[in-house]
Amino acid sequence: MKQNPIPEGEPDTSASSSHDLAVQAEARRRSRRAFIGLGLGSLLGIGGWSWLLSRPEEDGLPAPLRRVLDANGQLSSAYFKQTRLAPEFARSRARTPRVNGRYGLEDPLDAETWRLRVQPLGAGPAQELTLADIQALPRVEMTTELKCIEGWSLIVHWAGARFSDFLARYPLAGLPGRPDELAPFVALRTPNGKYYVGLDMASALHPQTLLCYEMNGQPLTASHGAPLRLVTPLKYGIKHLKRIGTIAFATQRPSDFWAERGYDWDSGH
């Protein structure tokens, strides 16, 4: 049989029987279908998301996602723009970062009266949660790099709850009148509203986006964001809002403290 040159980027199929080729084509067709399904994830609604996110994990991703990523290198690299994982490090390399940024931390923290306010879209009342409510969610630890746009970075060990687990337990992110569809944006701000960040929903649901209550094995100090801060290691430190007061949902990009001062709204790296 005539040997065709192998096109760039295609698997070497020159030794395959026609049966193998048919199997491969079918596998590719299926993984493409599965991938397209995931691309429509934002239309999947919270029911679909909570199903997906409650699947057993492989490498920190829900198994169905991981399988799609493994199934097709080319498509997965496209999808990985959103779902790649930030590198994790040995815990022994963790250090305590400098305190950087005190906007929104001006008032003394009253840990007794602090509540996390979760504001659904539309007219619904805010739900108030305690730190114990967040600590009752599955605890996740990770050692990742905190990168500041000022040019420094440091490895930190964090403990907290996945934002996705929080939303699965408190499904308050639905659109008004369409509770099965997720709002496309999340807005977080300090209790006094002086520091605020916006996230797209895919970033909020990323498996390494945590509502953190511990840094390097200790409860957060006030200046590092007690009692609860955001950590999202695919983005710069400016998005890691300390002392979360309110989480709200939005259909438009929420205002963002540093985006208003000229930085990139997404601030991914």
Ligand X SMILES: Nc1nc2c(c(=O)[nH]1)N[C@H]1C(S)=C(S)[C@@H](COP(=O)(O)O)O[C@H]1N2
Binding positions for ligand X, rule: CB under 6 A:
97-105, 148, 190, 195, 224, 237-238, 240-243
Number of residues that bind Mo ion (CB under 5 A): 2
Contact 199, 239 (CB under 8 A): yes
Instruction: Choose among Mo ion, ligand X, none what residue 97 binds, the Cβ cut-off being 5 to 8 Å by kind.
Output: ligand X
Instruction: Choose among ligand X, Mo ion, none what residue 99 binds, the Cβ cut-off being 5 to 8 Å by kind.
Output: ligand X
Instruction: Choose among ligand X, Mo ion, none what residue 41 binds, the Cβ cut-off being 5 to 8 Å by kind.
Output: none
Site for Mo ion in 140-159 (CB under 5 A): 148
Shortest distance, position 208 Cβ to ligand X, whole Å: 16
Q: From 166, 171, 232, select the one nearest 199 (Cα to Cα).
A: 232
Q: Who's near 66: CB < 8 A, 6+ residues apart?
A: 57, 58, 59
Instruction: Choose among Mo ion, ligand X, none what residue 242 binds, the Cβ cut-off being 5 to 8 Å by kind.
Output: ligand X
- If the CB atoms of residues 80 and 152 are measured against Mo ion, the closer one turns out to be 152
Q: Who's near 222: CB < 8 A, 6+ residues apart?
A: 105, 108, 109, 243
Under DSSP, the state recorded for 239 is: G
Site for Mo ion in 210-249 (CB under 5 A): 237
Which helix (H) or strand (E) segment is 173 a member of? none
Structure token pair of residue 92? 């022994």
Shortest distance, position 105 Cβ to ligand X, whole Å: 6
- If the CB atoms of residues 44 and 148 are measured against Mo ion, the closer one turns out to be 148
Structure token pair of residue 116? 């996390």
28 phi-psi bin (left φ>0, alpha ψ -120 to 50, beta other):
alpha
Instruction: Choose among ligand X, Mo ion, none what residue 104 binds, the Cβ cut-off being 5 to 8 Å by kind.
Output: ligand X
- Tell me which residues touch Mo ion (CB under 5 A): 148, 237
